[in-house]
Amino acid sequence: MSKQGEALQHSHQERFGQAGRVFLAPARVNLIGEHTDYTGGFVMPMAIGFHTAAVISPREDDRMVFRSANFDEEIELGWPAIESGRRRQWSDYPAGVTWSLRKEGVTFGGFNLSLAGDVPLGAGLSSSASVEVATAMAVMSLANVSLPLEKIATLCRRAENEYVGAKSGIMDQFVVAGAVKHRAMMLDCRSLAFDLLPLPEDVRVVIVNSMVKHAVATGEYGSRRDEVEAGQTVLRKELGIELLRDATLADLDTVRSKMTPESYARCKHIITENARVLVAREALLSGDMKRFGLLMAEAHVSFRDDFAASCEEVDRLVEIASRQPGCIGARITGGGFGGCTVNLVSASAAEEFVAAVRSEYAKVTGINADCFVCAPEDGALALAGKEGAA
């Protein structure tokens, strides 16, 4: 069992007097393909070595107790309380998953559920999907059901969209549940078909946290999504194109006058980004990392200028990273407006890269950035399948 799982099992037992079943769900980083998921496009995320652990044990009654070891808080809820909607706090994520599982027809009795995580919050590494998927795995085991990957991802997304009220796409929940060690995942967000792609062994994925916090559940993520959807509606009405992923730049130009300049620019980012993900897949398959790095650089410019969802600190980080020896590519990752950059760096240069980026960033912003050298990890399903892994 992982240290994290073991520690949570211990505190669960102390609090509830029962041992429970332990599950782990990772965080994720997206290599390329940003804000493309909710219009049926392409993304290329991978799971990383930060996790949410969940421990669940049954209760005699039908109450549901959600306990956060991180916040040292717990809340006890019955069905009427869960069904009456969110409480605008951390428990909305796990409670929303139980609500969503019920909608899926999964039945279960009361339980005690402990959660603990080491995923940096508000950093764009999907702490919320990690909590959702860990909860889903735990409650499914209590209910004695196993659902396929697509279902788990879809119901967790539904919890986030309809219960928590964050308008996210499917990428995070899908990769957090379905990732495979040593592989990046290219996901078609319309069909949910995916490829597992190898990253060269001599390349490291370095995540640098700008320390500027973002939250998907509030404000700007949603307003970008509205602008995108307004543009997509025009394409649908005028040209019969259902999803942005089927549109070309020429299509977009044809209907430019019928949408706001903001919608035009956001849609332009998405159309060019989808094309970049497809080329990035080819680059990975042929081991052309230079090409992959150039695509990351283009993706950042597009996210910054057309999608207008970067920020000064993150742009600084990308600029600093791009000039370091051994840096193959650098860009913002996740929902935007702060959070982390993802950098592909030659393994032999990774240590110096981290030191140089931290020191230059601190010099210009006064901020100490957290850096994580990562490799692609297993998702929650693979972890649950490996005996003793949790």
**Catalytic residue positions, numbered:** 172
Helix residue spans in 286-379 (DSSP H):
289-305, 312-322, 350-365
Where does this chain touch ligand GLA (CB under 6 A) — which range of 88-96, 169-177, 259-267, 343-351? 169-177
- Binding of ligand GLA by 41 (CB under 6 A): no
**Contact residue for ligand GLA among 20, 169, 231, 379 (CB under 6 A):** 169
- What is residue 330's three-state secondary structure? strand
DSSP state of 259: S
DSSP state of 199: P
The nearest distance, CB 125 to ligand GLA, in angstroms, is: 9
* d(C-alpha 378, C-alpha 390), whole Å: 11
Which residues make Cβ contacts (< 8 Å) with residue 300, sequence separation at least 6? 310, 318, 330, 331, 332
The nearest distance, CB 168 to ligand GLA, in angstroms, is: 3
- Binding of ligand GLA by 26 (CB under 6 A): no
Site track for ligand GLA across 179-218, x = CB under 6 A? -------------------------------------x--
- What is residue 208's three-state secondary structure? strand
- Binding of ligand GLA by 227 (CB under 6 A): no
* d(C-alpha 248, C-alpha 256), whole Å: 12
Listing DSSP states for 299-323 in one string gives HHHHHHHTS----HHHHHHHHHHHT
How many CB atoms neighbour CB 295 within 10 A?
A: 24
Where does this chain touch ligand GLA (CB under 6 A) — which range of 31-39, 70-78, 198-206, 376-384? 31-39
The residue among 125 and 283 lying less far from ligand GLA, judged by its C-beta, is 125
The nearest distance, CB 373 to ligand GLA, in angstroms, is: 21
Do residues 350 and 328 lie in contact, with contact meaning Cβ atoms separated by under 8 Å?
A: no
The nearest distance, CB 97 to ligand GLA, in angstroms, is: 15
**Contact residue for ligand GLA among 115, 171, 283, 284 (CB under 6 A):** 171
- If we measure between CA atoms, which residue out of 138, 116, 160 comes closest to residue 7? 116
**Contact residue for ligand GLA among 135, 168, 209, 232 (CB under 6 A):** 168
- Binding of ligand GLA by 133 (CB under 6 A): no
Where does this chain touch ligand GLA (CB under 6 A) — which range of 34-42, 241-249, 292-300, 372-380? 34-42
The residue among 329 and 334 lying less far from ligand GLA, judged by its C-beta, is 334
**Contact residue for ligand GLA among 92, 132, 172, 313 (CB under 6 A):** 172
CA distances from 159 to 147, 153, 238 (A): 16, 10, 33
What number of CA atoms fall less than 13 Å from residue 315's CA on the CB side? 11
**Contact residue for ligand GLA among 27, 37, 94, 255 (CB under 6 A):** 37
The residue among 5 and 338 lying less far from ligand GLA, judged by its C-beta, is 338
- Binding of ligand GLA by 334 (CB under 6 A): yes
Binding-residue total with ligand GLA (CB under 6 A): 13
Do residues 54 and 156 lie in contact, with contact meaning Cβ atoms separated by under 8 Å?
A: no
What number of CA atoms fall less than 13 Å from residue 83's CA on the CB side? 5
Site track for ligand GLA across 269-308, x = CB under 6 A? ----------------------------------------
- Binding of ligand GLA by 29 (CB under 6 A): no
Radius of gyration of the chain measured on its C-alpha atoms: 21
- What is residue 378's three-state secondary structure? coil
- Binding of ligand GLA by 112 (CB under 6 A): no
* d(C-alpha 370, C-alpha 5), whole Å: 24
Give contact residues for ligand GLA (rule: CB under 6 A): 30, 34-35, 37-38, 126, 168-169, 171-172, 216, 334-335
